[in-house]
Amino acid sequence: MPARPSRFRTPVGQRGFALLIVLWTLVLIAFIVGHLTAAGRTEVRIADNLASNAAAQAAADGAIYQAIFNLAGSRTDRRWTLDGNPHELRIGESRAILRLADETGRVNPNQASAALLQALVRAAGGAEQNAGEIAAAITEWVGTTTEQRAPATVLAEYRMAGLDYGPPGSALESIDELALVRGVTPALLAALRPHLSLFGPAEPNPRAADPVVSEALALARAAAPALAPADATTDVLVARIQATARGPGNAQVTRAAVVRVDPSVPPGYALLAWDNEIE
């Protein structure tokens, strides 16, 4: 006698549908696991990169302070020369390359005379016919001009140049501010920038000057011999320090600082600028 069909037996169509649900559930679980795994790997890579960058940054900062301590040391014969040549340091797992330059060899537009600024414009390739006018405009802007003119006259000249402002008569806060001075074009500012500093003396140190500043000094002295600076030596120096550190994972960080080393001031030095404050 044939067996009677059980009333509890699942139809074939329903069994196939249940299997499909199980398969899709497994696919969904596999997708979630894969996504979480990939996200975890990404987070680990990000954390590794952050740690590598932090190590390189700490190494660059440490290298700058190592340079400061070297320059502030009592043994002047052991100081690194401010000649731009590289000095290599190992700090932990990072390697840092230091370069030191003498900031006193640059022209300080906040303190330089009109004669020196005019000579620098000429030496940097600016138009000779209006170099004197540009130099006078800079000294008016920073408030060092020796030829006081009526404010209305100065403002009128700026209006004629299409500018709706006039010189503030105060020191520059950044080299970029020179772009606001009447007659200073972007091309001229780009040519002047490598030879300018807001941290140098009124008269550049000729022994630390680059060829353009040296030419400017020669031109200015020819026009005004009294400009020639005294050749006296001093224990006070101003250095521009740049450190490029490569840490683990090839992370690379560059830091820069300007420091004045003066044995008469505790702790023997003063940080004048750090990173984006440098001009």
pLDDT in tens, 151-190: 899 999 999 999 999 999 999 999 999 999 999 999 999 9
- Do 142 and 217 lie in one domain? The reply is yes
Rg (CA), the chain: 33
Q: For residue 213, what pLDDT band results from cuts at 50, 70 and 90?
A: very high
Tens digits of per-residue pLDDT, 60-82?
Answer: 999 999 999 999 887 778 889 99
Same structural domain, 141 and 87: no
Are residues 99 and 118 both part of a single domain? no
* Domain total in the chain: 2
CB contact at 8 A, 178 and 138? yes
Distance CA(130)–CA(115), nearest Å, equals: 13
Rounded to whole angstroms, the Cα distance separating 255 from 3 reads 89
Q: What is the pTM for the complete model shown?
A: 0.73
SS3 196: strand
CB 95 within 8 A of CB 158: no
- Do 161 and 255 lie in one domain? The reply is no
Asked if 200 and 106 count as a contact pair (C-beta separation under 8 A), the reply is: yes
Whether 158 and 141 map to the same domain: the answer is yes
When the pLDDT of each residue in the chain is averaged and rounded to a whole number, the result is 84
CATH of the domain at 266: 3.30.1300
Residue 15, in any domain of the structure: no
Q: What is the pLDDT of residue 225?
A: 66
Residue 35 included in any domain: no
Does a structural domain hold residue 179?
yes
The enclosing domain of 194 has a CATH number of 1.10.40
Q: Within this chain, do residues 186 and 265 fall inside the same structural domain, yes or no?
A: no
Query: Taking phi first (over 0 means left), then psi (-120 to 50 degrees means alpha), and beta for anything else, what does residue 8 get?
Result: alpha
The H-or-E segment that residue 188 falls in is: helix 186-192
Residue 278, pLDDT above cutoff 70 = no
Tell me: do 119 and 163 sit in the same domain.
yes
Of 69, 97, 105, whose CA–CA distance to 240 is shortest? Answer: 105
Structural domain of residue 262, as residue ranges?
45-105+235-277
Same-domain status, 51 and 92? yes
* pLDDT confidence of residue 230: 45
